[in-house]
Amino acid sequence: VAFSTADRVAVRAMVDDLVASLRGHGASAGGGVTRLVYSQAWAAAMAEIEGWLGSAGLEVRVDAAGSRFGRLAGERPQVVMSGSHVDSVVGGGAYDGALGVAMAACAVRWLRETAGRPRLTLEVLANCEEESSRFACNFWGSRAMLGLIRPGECDLLRDADGVTIGEAMSALGLVPDRIAEARRDDVCAYVEPHIEQGPLLERLGLTIGVVDRVVGVRQLRFELRGEAGHAGTIPMAARRDALTGAAELVLAGEALARDLGQPAVATVGALRVEPGGANQVPGRVDLTVDFRHVDERVLAGMEEELRRRAAALAAARGLELSVEPRLGQRAVDLDGRLCALLEASCRRAGVRWQRMPSHAGHDAQLLATRWPSAMLFLPCAGGRSHRPDERADMDDVVRGVEVLALTLHELAYEA
């Protein structure tokens, strides 16, 4: 099996169209996308995806978490699954997640049309949630498939407006109490295509990254409480200003990651000040530090050091401090056999590739704990992601669909 020139033209048109139409659901300023899980924009995107999957001749199904599946039944029930997530960050781009869903749909459609019924069953996955940008829910769709959502969790997780994830599900007709039914025990391989979200492939002039490891990610939420007051009448020496303390913590996180050197990163992306008036000494700040490393021991050391520095600066300023983990994703090795298959497909398709770790978190890292899993990275322009001007080159995307189709062929038809 191989792509013809006509296949490439057809795939290019289809992927381009799918990405463009998904971009319309949750469109925000400057071409950006805000498509939070279980929002109206998300529901509209999922409805559109159901339409494509059906028109590609696949059997469409929704699981109890709201993820969508397009199934091409094979001779055997074991499932080779490929796809990615549909939700986005606030003000994110049109490619993160959505491109992987579109690529998997194109690859499976091409296989059905070219190679017919497979021996193993193929499924396209449109995963409901990956970004944790509405709820701190940590791979909600993948956890549902692995049966890892804890009893009562639907009532505990709340968004910024106080809505529980269970309420958000119910509003779309899903039944939170049935989430355990989303569990899958029939998957034998998972391959996730995704943009790199970093600058490496583009800089090296490569078309494909075969991801063999995903960095560990932790997020700690820090709350600093001092004393609010009037910005004029409280002498500097009498202040317990929560924001000056928070500023020290922001810089401590940056210094820690810089001192460790690559691949350590640390980011304060969310920070909120109360009461927030220009003429009020801040009495309370909460902020989240996101930090990442390929080595779990280094990650644990970073957490310890962040907690130590925060405690020291809070004590020095007379601030009260609370710290709570918001997210924890362990660094994980992906499946060696699948990585080797992806490399073989790159060779057969004649594309330039390399093995690399992922510095972003992905569903594959959680699914890899139960199912053989791997990822296929595509370059993204300037390494820009989680922003409105996120972009992938369509030549690369078509080559990526080809590599993915060859790999799925090997897995599902040559088994």
Q: Which of residues 135-194 bind its own copies (CB under 8 A)?
A: none
Closer residue to its own copies, CB minimum distance, 108 or 264: 264
DSSP classification of residue 387:
S
The runs of H, that is alpha helices, within 318-393 are 336-349, 363-367
N- to C-terminal Cα separation, the chain: 15
Name which of 119 and 239 has its Cβ closer to its own copies: 239
Query: For the window 14-53, what string marks contact with its own copies as x by the rule CB under 8 A?
Result: ----------------------------------------
* Separation between Cα atoms, residue 153 and residue 211, nearest integer Å: 31
Cβ of residue 198: shortest distance to its own copies, in angstroms? 3
Give the C-alpha separation, 302 to 216, whole Å.
Answer: 12
| Contact residue for its own copies among 23, 68, 386, 409 (CB under 8 A) | 386
Binding to its own copies in span 189-228, by CB under 8 A: 196-199, 215, 217, 219, 227-228
When the beta carbons of 6 and 278 are compared against its own copies, the nearer one is 278
* CB of 89 or CB of 341, closer to its own copies: 89
- Residue (of 244, 223, 216) closest to 288 by Cα position: 223
Q: How many CA atoms lie within 13 A of 71 on its CB side?
A: 19
Q: What distance in Å separates the CA atoms of residue 375 and residue 207, rounded to the nearest whole number?
A: 14
Give φ, ψ of 365 to 5 degrees: -70, -30
* 282 is a contact residue toward its own copies (CB under 8 A): yes
The residue type found at 387 is R
Angle at 19 between CA 13 and CA 21, to 5 degrees: 95
- Give the residues across from 68 on adjacent strands: 62, 126
Which of 111-119, 128-136, 170-178, 339-347 is the region at the interface with its own copies (rule: CB under 8 A)? 128-136
89: contact with its own copies by CB under 8 A: yes
Beta carbon nearer to its own copies, 51 or 277: 277
What DSSP letter does each residue of 231-267 carry, written as one string?
A: TTTS-GGG---HHHHHHHHHHHHHHHHHHH-TT-EEE
Query: What is 148-169 written as a DSSP string?
Result: -PPTTHHHH-B-TTS-BHHHHH
Nearer to its own copies, 54 or 269 (CB): 269
**Among 18, 34, 134, 142, which residue's Cα sits nearest to residue 386?**
34
Looking at 14-22, 75-83, 169-177, 277-285, which segment touches its own copies (CB under 8 A)?
Answer: 277-285
Using CB under 8 A as the binding rule, whether residue 131 contacts its own copies is answered as yes
Interactions with its own copies, residue window 232-271 (CB under 8 A): 232-238, 241, 243-244, 246-248, 250-251, 254, 257-258, 262-271
Q: Is residue 281 within the footprint of its own copies (CB under 8 A)?
A: yes
Return phi, psi of residue 262, to 5°: -55, 145
Q: Nearer to its own copies by C-beta: 91 or 147?
A: 91
- Return the half-sphere exposure (C-beta side, CA atoms, 13 A cut-off) of residue 413: 16
Asked if 383 interacts with its own copies (CB under 8 A), we say yes
Kindly state whether residue 354 participates in binding its own copies, applying the rule CB under 8 A. no
- Is residue 326 close enough to count as binding its own copies by CB under 8 A? yes
Could you tell me the smallest distance in angstroms from the CB atom of residue 330 to its own copies?
14
Residue whose CB is less far from its own copies, 51 or 276: 276
Residue 358 identity (one-letter amino acid): S
* Stretch touching its own copies by CB under 8 A, among 37-45, 84-92, 109-117, 171-179: 84-92
Nearer to its own copies, 241 or 343 (CB): 241
